[in-house]
Amino acid sequence: MTSLRIVSSDCSMIRLDRLEYHVREELNKTAPRVLVVLHPLKVVITNLESSSVMELDAKKWPDAQADDTSAFYKVPFSNVVYIERSDFRIKDSKDYYGLAPGKSVLLRYAFPIKCTDVILGDDNETVIEIRAEYDPSKKSKPKGVLHWVAEPYPGADPLKVEVRLFEKLFNSENPTELDNWFVDLNLDSKLVIPAAYAVPALRNAAVGDTFQFERLGYFTADKDSTAEKLVFNRTVTLKDTYCKGGK
């Protein structure tokens, strides 16, 4: 997809990736980090009691100091956690850092886990559930680090939130130059994920609050949020193309 441009107040054209670069720079300094899983895959930790729930510290900021309690938030860790479905593969490879049968990964802010079994659906292809063991000693040092969300207490689903992923509205750089801009619309410019899983710390988010969903991007609480369901819009991804192309 080509880079888009927007018109500034003085009618000059600004590359959209340049705007996103500066938005990303600002949000990196002002948006606290939280853990959210968009497409949850269930992982059952078999060597952790089902009644056991630990409260772990997670960083709001990458440079959080250990003696600054305000720079951390609490996340529950139980024997049922959820990872991104895309972070698991049946067949492993050397350049893959996600979870696979017999392989270990680190759950960010928590413990290493090793996949011991895979539960498949009736089609013998769809992964329904992962069985794993965790390393409470943290002696193993896997290369892959995954974000995750756990059941806050036995049998309770994590906090469900709606997440809206926005992409560029047009496919070309300047749709005003086209005879028919309608055919240039990006049909995948909006994707709604109705039931993502989030850590409990997001429960009190107010409209306009901005967060970095770790490994996913920067998101803002939308005015469509209700007491029953929070809605978050993606402002910008974590990927930065502008600095790679040169300022």
Confidence (pLDDT) at 240: 66
pLDDT for res 186 = 79
Span 37-150 CATH architecture:
Beta Barrel (2.40)
pLDDT band at 246 (very low <50, low <70, confident <90, very high): very low
pTM value?
A: 0.88
Q: Where in the chain is the domain with CATH 2.40.240.10?
A: 16-33+159-237, 37-150
Per-residue confidence (pLDDT) for residue 3, from 0 to 100: 46
Locate 67 and state its tokens. Answer: 């003696």
What is residue 18's predicted lDDT score, i.e. its pLDDT? 85
Beta strands (DSSP E) in the chain are 5-7, 13-15, 33-34, 36-37, 40-45, 54-59, 72-77, 80-84, 104-107, 112-120, 127-134, 145-146, 149-150, 159-166, 190-198, 210-213, 217-221, 230-236
- At 2 the pLDDT is 44
Percent of the chain with pLDDT over 70: 91
State both tokens at 59: 């960083």
> Which band of pLDDT confidence, cut at 50, 70 and 90, is reported for residue 243?
very low
- pLDDT for the residue numbered 179: 75
For residues 169-197, average pLDDT: 82
Strand 40-45 vs strand 127-134: parallel, antiparallel, or unpaired? parallel
- Can you give the pLDDT at residue 10? 55
> Which of residues 236 and 172 earns the better pLDDT score?
236
Name the CATH superfamily, with its identifier, for domain 16-33+159-237. Ribosomal Protein L25; Chain P (2.40.240.10)
- In this prediction, residues 212-236 reach a mean pLDDT of 97
Q: Cα–Cα–Cα angle for 160, 50, 135, nearest 5°?
A: 95
Percent of the chain at pLDDT > 90 equals 76
Tell me the average pLDDT across 68-87.
97
Please report the pLDDT score of residue 146 as a whole number: 98
User: Is pLDDT above 60 for 9?
Assistant: no
